């Protein structure tokens, strides 16, 4: 991931509704959710949701796939992994006493909750 891609993803996630959408989609991997279900669960009007989904999809952090009459959206886990690694790559200048606790928190989160947040 390069700086431009990271900025695009971070910019897309830097809004409350879009962050809620992404977090909801992460919890529904690998099946994803139809747009109508997302709107209902987050109590977001369909027209507003459509705009948010478009911004997230254009950043590459989610993707949609037509399934009959609806579009099922999924979080792009690989893209999210790449973004996270981009942010942590030079973690605190390689000082394990600083980034070690963050990595431990992430590890325990995945063990305790089977990596589903």
- CB-based contacts of 63, cutoff 8 Å, min separation 6: 57, 73, 74, 76
Q: For each of the chain's 117 residues, which pLDDT tens digit applies?
A: 899 999 999 999 999 999 999 999 999 999 999 999 999 999 999 999 999 999 999 999 999 999 889 999 999 999 999 998 888 777 667 777 777 777 787 777 666 555 544
CA distances from residue 81 to 13, 22, 41, 54 in whole angstroms, order as listed? 14, 13, 25, 21
For residue 113, the model assigns a pLDDT of: 53
- The CATH architecture of the domain made up of 3-78 is Orthogonal Bundle (1.10)
- For the chain, the structural domain boundaries read 3-78
pLDDT at site 114:
52
Neighbouring CB atoms inside 10 A of 27's CB total 11
Q: State pTM to two decimals.
A: 0.83
User: What is the CA angle 70-57-17, rounded to 5?
Assistant: 85
């Amino acid at each position: 991931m390069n700086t431009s891609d990271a900025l695009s993803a971070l910019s897309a996630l830097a809004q409350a509704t879009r962050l809620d959408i992404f977090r909801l989609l992460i919890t529904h991997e690998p099946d994803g959710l139809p747009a109508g279900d997302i709107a209902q669960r987050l109590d977001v009007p369909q027209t507003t949701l459509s705009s948010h989904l478009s911004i997230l999809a254009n950043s590459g952090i989610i993707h949609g796939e037509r399934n009959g009459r609806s579009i099922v959206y999924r979080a792009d886990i690989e893209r999210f992994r790449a973004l996270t690694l981009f942010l942590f790559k030079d973690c605190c200048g390689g000082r394990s006493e600083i980034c070690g606790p963050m990595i431990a928190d992430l590890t325990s989160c995945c063990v305790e909750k089977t990596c589903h947040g």
